[in-house]
């Protein structure tokens, strides 16, 4: 028996990790610019950068885990591409919305993120129970 392999999830893991690095750099640059080494120093730009980064960390790993479990359970590739693309778009819109204080983009980003999580749950349930 061959070991299960992942083909779709790693693509999104790579892209989203690059995005995480960029969000981290944004926090670091804001810290340097405002000379704040801990917390946010009451600086709005830094607060937004920290929250954008934190929010990313709060949602992305779980969605990637759900995608990987689905893929290991032989989910159809297209379902994983749909979930991954929705997650990526959601995280991108959220990061821009928080970074530039554009409330609508932030909301759309969270709606897409929740849609991706719900989609990932559905894909995993259908593959797990062979529905």
For the chain, the domain total comes to: 1
Residue 61 lies in a domain: yes
Residue 113 lies in a domain: yes
Q: What is the pLDDT of residue 4?
A: 72
Residue 51 lies in a domain: yes
Cα pseudo-dihedral 93, 99, 100, 106, rounded to 10: 40
Residue 21 lies in a domain: yes
Check whether 129 has a pLDDT greater than 80: yes
Residue 2 lies in a domain: no
What are the tens digits of pLDDT across the range 16-37? 999 999 999 999 999 999 999 9
**Count of alpha carbons within 13 angstroms of residue 67, beta-carbon side:** 28
pTM above 0.95, yes or no: no
CA distances from 21 to 1, 2, 25, 28, 101 (A): 37, 34, 6, 10, 20
Cα 4 versus chain centre, distance: 24
Residue 118 lies in a domain: yes
Please report, for the domain that includes residue 101, its CATH number.
Answer: 1.20.120.550
**In terms of residue numbers, what domain contains 45?**
9-128
b/e burial code for range 52-61 (CB count within 10 A of at least 16 → b): bbebbeebbe
Residue 24 lies in a domain: yes
Residue 1 lies in a domain: no
């Amino acid at each position: 028996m061959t070991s299960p392999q992942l083909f779709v999830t790693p693509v999104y893991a790579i892209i989203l990790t690059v995005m995480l690095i960029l969000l981290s750099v944004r926090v670091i640059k804001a810290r340097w610019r405002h000379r704040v080494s801990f917390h946010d120093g009451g600086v709005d730009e830094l607060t937004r950068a920290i929250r954008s980064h934190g929010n990313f960390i709060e949602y992305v790993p779980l969605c990637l885990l759900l995608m990987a479990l689905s893929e290991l359970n032989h989910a159809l590739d297209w379902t994983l591409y749909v979930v991954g693309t929705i997650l990526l778009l959601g995280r991108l819109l959220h990061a821009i919305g928080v970074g530039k204080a554009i409330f609508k983009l932030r909301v759309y980003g969270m709606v897409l993120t929740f849609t991706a999580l719900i989609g990932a749950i559905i894909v995993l349930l259908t593959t797990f129970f062979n529905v």
